[in-house]
Amino acid sequence: MSGWSQEKREDIVKRLHEKGVNRPCPRCGGEAFSLVDGFAVFGLVNELQDEGVQNLVPSVCVACSRCGYLTFHALGPLGLLPKDLPPPPQNQQTVE
Ligand SMILES: [Zn+2]
């Protein structure tokens, strides 16, 4: 994976700041963080025995520079979610 451009990183950090994401690390109280290149994608299931992922939640990852505690921010509230993101290929969701 090639790294993100400085422009992209600055845009994401700016969006986090605009949302008031400025508290110290909840684990060690450190105040220095770094954005980790790449999207973390959480796959959600309705039941643990489900074989298919029902929904995907892409997020950005911020790491505490002192202790490494990781926090994840979903892309939607940051305005980074593409409007026409295709559903996950394993999507087996049914309308009830
Ligand atoms: Zn920390």
Quick: pLDDT tens for 34-84: 999 999 999 999 999 999 999 999 999 999 999 999 999 999 999 999 876
Residue 67, in any domain of the structure: yes
Q: How many angstroms separate the alpha carbon of residue 30 from the centre of ligand 1?
A: 5
- pTM value is 0.80
Q: What is the model's pLDDT at position 61? A: 98
Q: How many angstroms separate the alpha carbon of residue 31 from the centre of ligand 1?
A: 8
Residue 11, in any domain of the structure: yes
Q: How many angstroms separate the alpha carbon of residue 32 from the centre of ligand 1?
A: 8
Residue 45, in any domain of the structure: yes
* Sheet with 55-64, edge to edge strand ranges: 33-44, 55-64, 70-74
Residue 88, in any domain of the structure: no
Q: What is the model's pLDDT at position 58? A: 96
Q: What is the model's pLDDT at position 91? A: 52
Total tally of structural domains belonging to the chain: 1
Residue 23, in any domain of the structure: yes
Q: How many angstroms separate the alpha carbon of residue 24 from the centre of ligand 1?
A: 8
**Residue 7 and residue 55: Cα distance in Å, rounded?**
29
- Per DSSP, the three-state class of 9 is helix
Residue range of the domain that includes 31: 6-78
Residue 30 has pLDDT above 70, yes or no: yes
- Per DSSP, the three-state class of 47 is coil
Residue 20 has pLDDT above 80, yes or no: yes
